[in-house]
Amino acid sequence: MARKLDLMDIKQIIRLHLDGQSNRKISRTLGINRNTVNTYIQLVKSLDIPADKLLEKDIGELEKLFPIKTTINNRRYDELMQYLDSLKTEVNKPGFTLLYHYNEYSQNVDNPYSYTQFVEHYNRRYRKVKSSMKLTHHPGETMMIDFAGKHLYLTDRETGEQIPVEIYVSILPHSQYTYVQAVMSQKREDLLDCITGSLAYYGGVPQAIISDNLKSAVSRSSKYEPQINKSLKDLASHYNCVINPTRAYSPQDKALVENAVNLVYQRIYYPLRHMTFFTLGQLNEQIKILLENYNNYQLQNKGISRREQFQSQERSYLKTLPATRYELKNYRRAKVQKMGYVFFSPDKSYYSVPYQYIGQNTEIHYTDKQIEVHYNHQRIAVHIRNKSKGSYNTIKEHLSSTHQFYTDWSPEYFKKLATPHGTYVISYVEQMIHQAAYPETAYKRSMGIIQLHRQYGSERLNNACRRALLADSLSYNRVKNILENNLDKEEFDEANFSETTSHIPPHENIRGAKNYV
């Protein structure tokens, strides 16, 4: 089945096209069929939108502009490549013909290519592998990355246990300028931290990053068309470059970084063999010192160091680093609840989204500092991350008009509402809110009291609040009862008025409240 081309891959094609690379070179860099690259470049040119503006568009907008699919059938193509690989040992034998092997190939697969296509793929394949050659690496074009096969170790202070750590190595092939970093694992977060560390060390960004087929980098391994994971593509988008995994079982694709790893064993591992480190920070500090010596070491065949070669020949070709360092994004799916919030499970908190998306399934992209909510590849909400459990994080504009009305409630808001109805209404509402254990409860009661003016008028409401204040009774029902029973209309002596005075006469045998504490 034909696979729809990933929209992040389309952005990578556009980036390389803007960098001035030919369609053939883009095809080789990304591992995408050249005809597919040609088709997309033609589509880009046919649009009325400049190519650099396409990079600024959301994934959802690109999906409308590029609805086509690639023509590669992965299974069919892999079957052909596997068969062509088996011909390596047969080529120089007497009587070898392509027609003989095409007949053999077509009898052993369900959906064979035509003979013409078979010959074309054979010629492409064996033009590349017939003999080895020295590859020319242009300045600023690529950065190769890999993890060393051997470990360095930290020591547990209490038990003396040796804890293995991974050693990441990157190299700019043109200048051979090298970066080394120790991390606890080869997991995605550590790999991305190492790549951002590399780019910061070089002070710029190459056109492409060539990685090994690491599990933390590739979500589906393939010798011819591996699938890069979402986080690594997001990093590439942030730094305006592309990711190009090497072919599986093809160490020649990253021979320079493999050689750099061997040199790291000699120049960094060996000097550290008698040293003890208790923390990753201590180890990386020592690696940094040795790395400076390594990059400053004069290359015998060139009479110049890696650092000098980088500064004079390659640095100016690197793209400018973005203003902010990349932060690892993680992903969660969440349905927008009826109240207009999504539940963010890692912190058990809630974040508002525009009320039009209530009931829709969304994807949350989050970092340590920020929360983004996406619907159909389009960002619909951005929040600063609040790690307080159970918190509700609201942007007022997200709420419907009814919900926005409730968010306006505050002591000042209710004082403003009470002002037209009299000083006693203001005083009553203020005291009710001030004495309430939960202000939200008092807000509802205050709203109910103020609304009584519609039925009884402002003057009667003000008198009722006056009488309730004298009785030191703060409740909605108290004011309502005074109005319903017309008690607000009765004359009374304010100086002697007390509705809390007991009707029971004093007596020495009657116990007071203090006896029941």
- Indicate if 159 and 296 belong to the same structural domain: yes
Query: Cβ(165)–Cβ(151) under 8 Å?
Result: yes
**Co-location of 101 and 148 in the same domain:** no
Position 51 pLDDT exceeds 50: yes
Mean pLDDT of 99-123: 86
Whether the per-residue pLDDT at 72 is higher than 60: the answer is: no
Q: Which residues contact 178 (CB under 8 A, 6 or more apart)?
A: 169, 170, 171, 260, 263, 264, 291, 294, 295, 306
What average pLDDT does the chain have?
79
Binned at pLDDT 50, 70 and 90, residue 517 comes out as very low
Band of the pLDDT at 180, cuts 50, 70, 90? very high
| Inter-residue contact 174 to 138 (CB < 8 Å) | yes
Q: How confident is the model at residue 297 (pLDDT cuts 50, 70, 90)?
A: confident
Pairing of strands 304-305, 298-299: antiparallel
- Whether 216 is covered by a domain: the verdict is yes
Both structure tokens of 304: 């110049």
What was the pLDDT predicted at 4? 55
In sequence order, what are the beta bridge partners of 334?
362
**Residue 323 belongs to some domain of the structure:** no
Please check whether residues 197 and 311 belong to one and the same domain: yes
Q: Quick one: 171 and 245 in the same domain?
A: yes
Give the SS3 label for residue 230.
helix
Q: Could you tell me the pLDDT band of residue 179, with boundaries at 50, 70 and 90?
A: very high
The larger pLDDT score, comparing residue 182 to residue 509, is at 182
Helix (H, G, I), strand (E, B) or coil at 227: strand
CA distances from 314 to 26, 98, 140, 443, 444 (A): 21, 45, 6, 67, 69
Structural domains counted in the chain: 5
For range 317-332, the mean pLDDT? 86
Residue 9: the pLDDT is 76
> Closest by alpha carbon to 334, among 367, 368, 358, 355?
358
pLDDT band with cut points at 50, 70 and 90 for residue 169:
very high
Which H/E stretch holds residue 166?
Answer: strand 162-172
Domain stop point among 371, 386, 405? 405
Evaluate whether 313 touches 174 at the Cβ level (below 8 Å).
Answer: yes
Question: Do residues 287 and 396 share a domain?
Answer: no
Query: Could you give the CA distance from residue 400 to residue 4 in angstroms, rounded to a whole number?
Result: 38
Q: Hey, which residues does 147 pair with through a beta bridge? A: 168
- DSSP string for residues in 175-191: TTEEEEEEES-SSHHHH
Domain assignment present for 455: yes
pLDDT of residue 182: 93
- β-partners of residue 218 are 228
Assess contact for 46 and 15: CB atoms under 8 A: no
Identify the pLDDT of residue 224: 42
* Cβ atoms of residues 465 and 479 within 8 Å: yes
Both tokens assigned to 413 = 């808001």
Residue 148 lies in a domain: yes
Residues 125 and 148 in one domain: no
Same domain, 484 and 423: yes
153 and 297 assigned to the same domain: yes
Strand partners, 379: 374
Phi and psi dihedrals of 384, rounded to 5? -75, 130
- 176 and 305 assigned to the same domain: yes
Do the domain assignments include residue 322? Answer: no
513, part of any domain: no
Q: What is the pLDDT of residues 366-416, one digit of tens each?
A: 888 888 899 888 888 889 888 888 788 887 777 665 555 555 666 787 888
* Mean pLDDT (whole number) for 198-218: 79
Write phi, then psi, for 167 (nearest 5 degrees): -115, 115
Residue scoring higher pLDDT (258 or 421): 421
CA distance 261 to 149: 8
Model confidence at 331, pLDDT cuts 50, 70, 90, reads confident
Place of tokens 């694709």: 253
C-alpha pair distances (Å), 90 with each of 107, 117, 125, 131, 233: 18, 20, 14, 15, 40
Separation CA 136–CA 189 (nearest Å):
32
pTM score over 0.75: no
DSSP, res 268: I
Rounded to an integer, the average pLDDT of 328-344 is: 84
Residue 293 neighbours by CB under 8 Å, 6+ apart = 267
Say whether 341 sits in a helix, a strand or coil. strand
- Let me know: does 506 contact 512? Beta carbons within 8 Å: no
Q: Are residues 251 and 394 in the same domain?
A: no
What is the predicted pLDDT for the residue at 68? 53
Last residue of a domain, one of 42, 65, 88: 65
240 phi, psi to nearest 5 deg: 60, 50
Amino acid occupying residue 105:
Y
Based on the domain organization, do 357 and 459 belong to the same domain? no
Is the Cβ–Cβ distance between 212 and 145 less than 8 Å? yes
Q: How many other β-carbons are positioned within 10 Å of the β-carbon of residue 195? A: 25
- Residue 44, phi-psi category: left (phi > 0), alpha (psi -120 to 50), beta (remainder): alpha
Residue 59's domain comprises: 7-65
Distances (CA, A) of 118 to 72, 130, 153: 15, 17, 51
Locate 247 and state its tokens. 């072919």
Does residue 256 sit in the same domain as residue 180?
yes
Confirm whether 509 is domain-assigned.
Answer: no
Would you call 474 exposed, middle or buried from its count of C-beta atoms within 10 A (0-12, 13-18, 19+)? buried
Ranked by mean pLDDT, the top range of 208-217, 225-234, 431-440, 451-460 is 451-460
In a domain, 425, yes or no: yes
Share of the chain above pLDDT 70, in %: 79
